[in-house]
Each structure stands twice: as C-alpha cells, then as structure tokens.
Structure 1
C-alpha cells in the first residue's frame, strides 16, 4: 500500500516541475526574508548612448516609411532548450538586432513594436513610434532574484533596467507585462478603423499565437479568414528587413572589420595547433577547438559551425563533424568566422597543406581556385550584377578543368545553361551577402540579390572551390581526395571592391611562408 501511495504521489507531480527535484531549494519564510536583505544598492549610473543607436534609429525610420498605418512586431525570440533544463546561449533574431542595435544575450523574449501614428509625426519624422518591450531586472527583494534559473540575477547575472536600455539605445522601453495589450489593441480591418499587424513570424511561437488570435478575434468573417493573405503581409515585412541589410552603414562595416580581424587571428591559432592536431586521432577537432577559443575570447561566438576538413573530408561542402585525422601529406580546408559582440560575422576559408608544403598537384588545383577567385574579384565592380562574380569565377574553373582533360565537353558547352558539366566539381555559388547572418539578406527578392547591382556598402563573399572526391571515377587518381576553397570577405566601395580579409595569405607561396613563420615562432614543425 505504501509503495502504491508513493507512486501515485510521484505521478501527480507535473512533469514540468520534476526538473527541479534535484535542486532541494529552501522555501522557508526565514530563508526568503534573509535572502531579501543585506544587499548593496545597485549602482545608479546613467549609461552613455551606444554608438549604434543613431544607426539603428535610421534603420527603423527606413522600415517605417514602407509600412505607414500598420503595427510592426519584431520579436527577439525566446531561449531555446538544448536538453532538459539547459538552454542554448541566446542569440536574438537578426532583424530585431538590426533595428535595436542589441547583440549579446540579455534580451530573450523581448519584442520591438513600431506603433503607427499620423504620417510624419513619429520618431525622426517617420510614421511610427518604436517601443522595446522586455523583462527588466527583478529587485533583490523578489523570489525571482534567487529562484529563477533562467532570469534571476543570482543565476545569470545582472540585466539592464528599462531606464538603462532607453538611455543606451535612444528607444522607448516598457515592461514585457504590457506587451499583450500593445500587440492586440485596436487590431482589425483598416477599412473599418482597425489596425493591421505585420509580424516577423517563426521567431517566437507565443507572439505568433498572440497575433493570430488577435487577427481571428477581430476578423469580420473569422471562419473564412484568408490566412494566405496574412502570411503575405508578414512575409513582406521579413523581406523588407532582409533587403534593408543589403547596404551596410559605416558602423556595420566597422563591426565586420572587427570580426574579420579576429578571424584572421583565429587562423593563426589553427596553424599553431597543427603540430598537435597531426598526432591526434581527431585532429580536425583540435583545429576546430583552436579557432573556437579565439571566437569566444575576441567575440561573442562562432558565426557558424566551423568546417575543419582534412583530405577527402574537404570535398564535403558542409563537413562540420570534424571527427577525422589530419595526415601530413593532406590539405586542410578551414571555413570559419568569428561573430563579434554586435553579432556581425566574418566568413573566411583557407586551404593549407597540413605539413606546410603543397605537392605539385595540390598546388595546381589551389592556384586554379585562386585564379577563379581573382577573376571574381575583378568582375565585382560597382554597377555590375551580383551574378557576374559567379560567372567570372566559374568560367576560369571550366578553363582549367578543360586544360587538365577533365571536362567531357568544350568550355563553351560547359558554361552554357544547357551544359554546366564543370559544376560537378563546384556545385555551390561563388558569393553571398554577409553581415548579421553568415548568409545575410536571405529573404531579399531575387531581383535585388542575384540580379542586384553591386553598390557601395554591400559586403559579400567570393569563394570558389574545386572538390575532387576520392570516389570520383571521372577524374585521374592523382586528383582524388583533394578539396580546395578560398574565401574572402569583400566590401564594395565607390572605387571598387576591397578585400577585408586580405591580411590572411592567399597565394600558395605566401601560405607556405606564413605557416613556416608561425612554426618558427613556435619552434615546432609538423611531422613529415
């Protein structure tokens, strides 16, 4: 009977509460009273305005101009569970970060709302007034301070107050408890005096549900509500936010330069780690770890999962398992980027000989890819189309493949839309926009992206490659197992393209000399 009683009691406990069974947290009134007392007062300092604040205001003004009379809802997103009661490090949605200027990890569940006002009377003469809704620091006299592992200061450290964020960002702030009213008030069909909402969807399920409920409850004919039309409204906002990032302002360019500089240092760390990596059964992980340490020391995080691929693994385009050995005679392809505290990321790839010296065939493939990259760079001029970079780079690769006798058709036939045989060995695109996301501006319209005109302020990659898989019977054996990619981060200026990552050696001789210099500094050389 006792056993049955205990079982029934256990099963009556909600599952959500069971993760706390291990905690043994005290709940006595005496404990609560003691925890609420004898704390030094929080410093009363008004922070300086962030350097990004004016830039973020300009971005909000640009979005406001596109959607007069409509409420715009841009969530940061919630914490995401990694396992059980452990969360991933928080990273806000890029559209939210761009419009607020907030990076790092201190605003989970926050929402930016641009509230429509009479045209021209809003912030900076725009059509909206912006308010940031978030959960501020709880007082030390509250249970949240010490009992809430997700948001309590005792667990995660201090959080900015409403006043601090307002001073830093030049942005109105409000407690998140006011959010539901701010989202739902006055919602309805514009033709009968209601307010239309546009939402960045699939960022925060709770906000999606709140907006959907408001739309349903205020629809004139809820049962026949056209959901596809509402989806289009929301998609247009995401599209506009993405297209707003096609041109970077001066502050964004400086953040990208910081990310690139840290990434260049990280590649030096990779070379320093190679002697140990060559002796480890997971040498790729040694390389990955060396770069990750730099990303956390100098920035916020990795901009994306590092690719550390040796030998045939370098022919796997998104090899992020990084579980392989690194052998002295192989090439090592490292595709990595540091994400700055502002969340802007670099994206650089270098392919290097693990023992510091290219073989003849490795050098031949490497220099073909470098020639393709240089051709793409030469084509990347103001006024050219974005797609011209890819066409120039891949044409060079087709020519080299033909010279080596690998193409089954002529270069002309291969590069025609009906051919494309050369793409067997380079199936990816040569360029993508870069910024808050490693593949930035991804929701932009095709005519502004692939068919877009290269314009000063754009930042993008140039990254051709050749990937000859070990199992590829269409090529001679000497090429098999060789994968090469060279990727640089390019800023378009009125005077032409600028290679932001030029500090990292690109030419084969320079790569060898750079690696030898680092080995000499470390007084170590890889095993031959």
Structure 2
C-alpha cells in the first residue's frame, strides 16, 4: 500500500483535504516572518465590567466554599466543517459582560477562597480561561480554521481581556487542572463543584469524571445529588437575571430602538413583498438585514406570518405569500452586540387599511394589552398581568357570540374555553434570552411580584384558524398579536416599544406614511 493511499489518512484529518496547505519547512518559516508588530495599547475598562462584577459577587454570596464552573460553550457545527455564528451561553455573558463571537470554548471559574477575601470582598476569585490570540510565529495563526487569525480574525490577548473586564485571565491549556484540582467531598477536605451543564460536553465530562474519581464510595455514588447541585446553580443564575441593572436596561433600550427601525423597513418593503411569490421571506429578509446592520443578530427567528399563517404561533418557515387584504403579523427582535434582545410584535394590514372585522379583532387585542399594562404595578403578581388581558378577551368573545359559555364560566379554572383562541401566556421575562429567566422558581416567576428592574413582554393575541368551524366565517384566517417590551420602574411600567404605532388609526397612518 503506497503512502498516498487514502485508506492511510485518518478520518479526522480528511476535513483538511480542501485546504491543500503547504507543509514544507520553507513555507512555515516564511509564514512566520515579516509581520508588523502588534504593539497596541491595552483597551480601557468596559462599561459593563463593574456591573458584571456585582453579579459575580451576588452568585459568590449564594455558594461560598464551592467551585463554580460557567462555560461559554464551543462553536456549533452547521454543516460538516462550517459552524454557526458563535453565541456564548447567557449565564457566561451575564457574569463576564462578554457578548459577540470571540470567546468560544472559554470557561469562567469562580474559585472559593477564605470568606470575604475574594473579588469585591466576596468568597471567590474569578478567572476567565480563554484561548487567546496565537502568535504569528505559530502554525495555529494560519492553520487553525476555528481559532487562527488568518481564518477568523484577531482574537483578544489575555491582557486585553483582563483590562477590559477586570477579571483575571489564564490560558485555556490550564483549564483541566483548574476544574479538577482538589475535587472531593467537603467532609474530607475536598471542594464541591457546581457546573452550568449542557453547555459544553467536554466540560460536562471533565466534571463528571472528577466527581466520580474522587467519590468516597463509587459503588454507591448517587449522581442525582450532583445533578441537584448543578440545577441549583442554574436556578440561581436564572433568578439573578430577574432584576435588570442600569446597564442592562440601557442595552434593552438600544435593542428595542433597533427593532423599531427594522419594523419601518418591513412596512417600506410591503409592495415588494406583495409582488413576490414568497413575500414572507421578503419581510424576514429586510428585518434580518437591519438586525445585522445595527446589532449583532436576530434575538430569535423572525415570525413573518401573513393571512392564515398568523394563526400559527411560531410560524418561522415564512414561505407564504403576502396578499392585499390580509393582515401581516411580524414577531421579531434585534439582538444587540451585548446579546440583549428585543421581542416585539405588530400586526398591520397589507394594503394599509383594516377591514371592519380585522379592526374589531385588532381593537380587542389592543384593549387586552392596555388592560394588562394598567394591571402591571410594583408589588402585583406577575400572573395578574395575564389575568387582566384574559378578562378583556373573554368578554369580547362572549360579545361576538363565539364563546360557548359566559365569559365568567370561561375564566374559571374549570372552564378556559376562551384559550382556544389565545393559547399562550400574555407575558414572559426578557433580557439576554428572549424567554429570559426560564429556570427561575415558580414562586419568583409566575407567582412572583413585579419589581423595579424587571423587563417583560405584554403580548395578547387572538387566532382564528381558517379551518376553525367554531367561529363565524368572517373571522376565519385572521390572527392578531400586539407585543410590547416593558420595563418596571418605581413609578410603574414603561413601554419601551411605544414608539411603534399601536392603535388601528395610528397603524394605518404609519403604513401610509412609509409607503
């Protein structure tokens, strides 16, 4: 068998066949020479650094004496050897202040120290383990398609990130020791680990192995005890995000302003959408262009739903046509470079004018949204916002003769018939994730009280499917949702997305002005 026989090439090396990279010593030597020196001064401290430090301190106070491991996550394969644009895990972004796409595989470790001697007087010292910029005299510089500067652009150095974030940094080569050293039962002087799981499989395996190898009795080891430790950390990190700090609120305002600009582009593109066989893709495309132009990306896949597609709650195929006389429901949000996202929905008449029945349905949804907003006050339970909207929708459905029972019967726990046409909740928390704080305990989320700093949506809707024989024919094929992003303050709720028209008259005037 010859050396060139493909059977001798290891499978994992075959991905490099397309590169056809020279391997001569002359090439390597030449590639390592004649590069301008990189003598840029260290960057200034990021505005977010002090806010992120306070968040780390809050988590440190929750888990003194334990090692906390928070991975950013690895790149995710899209197809063969191409990756999706990288987005770090939200818990990592929250505790470091790092957004964008330059920290794949990074891990934040909060190492326990003597009480009160850690960062900011806390119980831990934080270190960010990171793969820094490779020197131009290394093969990684030009040969590593995932982290080499020649392929993906410059990465920050350890010193640069430390200056920006105020967090000690270390090369990722030291990560394994940092995660596993001293792990064991606290009863015999070991260190307990808590991990944000299902972010990086390699880190999961590293922690699991360390726990297993240091267990006092491997035969009776109860892995569910470790799962509980990790779940409590995920819960605490999620609950920490229930109250947004001043910096976070500013980022959300930026994301929402960018989203409003994206909605204007959608309305301008309506004639082109009507003329295209897949007009929903035209709508999706113009919003995505604005998101990439002014932000980092979409906060989630855009719902661009015309006609009956608007009755599909998470319609993201966006393959339908946009027809004159239909309503167009668009649920979209721009993700800022900090990764905070907006989540806004507007429903507009494609031809610029609501029909009588469209306006009737739209006004009912708007009234429900306004009732929910009026109910949202500091100290009010989160679930009461939903209840206020449901009361309005049930009453309208009864007025129209659609409900098979009275509104009061429908609103009872044993009824709920109105939910056929409004099956989702009216509100969810919003922030780094479009459905933020998802691991928070029920008593702090649904049963929790609204407090200054909370950011959430108000998004009632009515959805009458074309095949729904329980409603009059004139209602069928119409879906309406109005969604706004709310910031609770000490004075009450503030609608951060109020710049986008909401009343039917204002929506019609808006469409006319942009067309």
Q: Give me the TM-score of the superposition, normalised by structure 1.
A: 0.97
Residue matched to 1:469:
465
For 1:274-317, what per-residue CA distance to the aligned partner results, in whole angstroms no more than 9, with x for missing partners? 11000000000000000000000010000000000000000000
The offset of 1:17, in angstroms, is 1.4
SS in 1 for 2:463: strand
- The 4+ residue runs of structure 1 with deviation greater than 4 A are 5-8
What is the aligned counterpart of 2:97 among 101, 104, 111? 101
Q: Name the CA shift for 1:127/1:350 in 2 (closer, same or farther; >3 Å).
A: same
SS in 1 for 2:480: strand
Are 2:2 and 1:9 equivalent residues in the alignment? no
- Counterpart-to-counterpart distance in 2, 1:190 and 1:24: 53
What is the aligned counterpart of 1:62 among 51, 58, 61? 58
For 1:58-117, what per-residue CA distance to the aligned partner results, in whole angstroms no more than 9, with x for missing partners? 000000000000000000000000000000000000000000000000000000000001
Are 2:396 and 1:400 equivalent residues in the alignment? yes
Residue matched to 1:209:
205
- Counterpart-to-counterpart distance in 1, 2:377 and 2:154: 47
Residue matched to 1:525:
none
- Counterpart-to-counterpart distance in 2, 1:321 and 1:16: 35
The offset of 1:9, in angstroms, is 2.7
Residue matched to 2:384:
388
**Which structure 2 residues correspond to residues 144-155 of structure 1 after superposition, within 5 A?**
144-155=140-151
Residue matched to 1:425:
421
For 1:345-365, what per-residue CA distance to the aligned partner results, in whole angstroms no more than 9, with x for missing partners? 000000000111100000000
SS in 1 for 2:213: helix
- Counterpart-to-counterpart distance in 2, 1:225 and 1:461: 44
Residue matched to 1:115:
111
- Counterpart-to-counterpart distance in 2, 1:340 and 1:260: 9
**Which structure 2 residues correspond to residues 196-235 of structure 1 after superposition, within 5 A?**
196-235=192-231
Are 2:267 and 1:246 equivalent residues in the alignment? no
Q: How many residues align?
A: 515
- Counterpart-to-counterpart distance in 1, 2:39 and 2:4: 50
Residue matched to 1:299:
295
What is the aligned counterpart of 1:83 among 79, 82, 87? 79
What is the aligned counterpart of 1:187 among 183, 187, 206? 183
The offset of 1:415, in angstroms, is 0.2
Are 2:31 and 1:35 equivalent residues in the alignment? yes
Unaligned runs of 5+ in 1: 520-528
The offset of 1:8, in angstroms, is 9.7
- Counterpart-to-counterpart distance in 2, 1:16 and 1:396: 60
The offset of 1:22, in angstroms, is 1.8
Residue matched to 2:343:
347
Unaligned runs of 5+ in 2: none
When structure 1 is superposed on structure 2, of 427-436 and 20-29 the one drifting more is: 20-29
The offset of 1:21, in angstroms, is 1.2
- Counterpart-to-counterpart distance in 2, 1:224 and 1:162: 42
Q: Give me the TM-score of the superposition, normalised by structure 2.
A: 0.99
Residue matched to 2:369:
373
- Counterpart-to-counterpart distance in 2, 1:371 and 1:451: 24
Residue matched to 1:364:
360
The offset of 1:129, in angstroms, is 0.3
The RMSD of aligned alpha carbons is 0.9
Q: Name the CA shift for 1:409/1:6 in 2 (closer, same or farther; >3 Å).
A: farther
**Which structure 2 residues correspond to residues 243-322 of structure 1 after superposition, within 5 A?**
243-322=239-318
Residue matched to 1:524:
none
